[in-house]
Amino acid sequence: MNNLQRYVNYVQPVVDAIEKHHNYYHIIQYHNVSAEDIYAKGGCIDFRTEGDLSIDVGDLNGNIPMIFVETREQSGGHLVIEIAPEQRELLSPEVLSVLHGDGWNNDWKAWWNNSADQTVYLLMDHTGVSEGGFMGFEPSDEFEDTVGVGHALDFISHRLGLNYLFIHDGCNDLEYVLNCEE
């Protein structure tokens, strides 16, 4: 079991209680996707379950770990996608161009190239729903992609409103539950 899956298992009871008593749209899911499941469309990325904000576990199967959370009905979806070095070349050029702009932002491109031998975490937010339907996911504009799982999980904790679960500056034992070296 990897750290993303451990995290989901650890926070699932809290998220379930929030969903039951406070917010029907509060969910967290762990998935394994394949590079072929991820595609670019309209400047965003989406998955082979096109047209639906919630992701059906049965439809996606691969070796790229991902956390999906939802916090609001139409614009509250967020992702952390774990990309190991051997999976980088499997991502299409179209998906890579969406991750940080058509012109490949030079800072992000340098970071991507300098971290080629490390596992990286891509942080994504749902773009909402327009008259044309589901829009997809785009890179977070509040948090930066990271090589540290702790920062990626802090992003998800923040999006869920569970700031006490921050690995950095949090009041919890999460780093002991996970296999963190940060």
pLDDT tens for the chain, 182 residues long, are: 888 999 999 999 988 888 788 776 788 999 899 998 888 888 888 876 544 445 554 567 789 999 999 887 666 789 999 999 999 999 998 898 888 765 556 778 888 889 999 999 999 988 765 555 556 888 888 888 888 888 899 899 999 888 887 876 655 667 666 765 44
d(CA 97, CA 123): 15
pTM listed for this prediction: 0.83
According to the model, what pLDDT value does residue 102 have? 55
SS3 of 50-101: the string is CCCCCCCHHHCCCCEEEEEEECCCCCCEEEEEEECHHHHHHCCHHHHHHHCC
Q: Are 32 and 62 in contact (CB under 8 A)?
A: yes
According to the model, what pLDDT value does residue 67 have? 94
According to the model, what pLDDT value does residue 109 have? 81
Spans of all domains in the chain: 3-177
According to the model, what pLDDT value does residue 43 have? 82
For 91, residues 6+ apart whose C-beta sits below 8 A from its C-beta are 35, 38, 83
According to the model, what pLDDT value does residue 131 have? 52
Q: Is 38 helix (H, G, I), strand (E, B) or coil?
A: strand
Q: State which amino acid sits at residue 42.
A: G
CA-wise closest residue to 15 among 153, 160, 123: 160
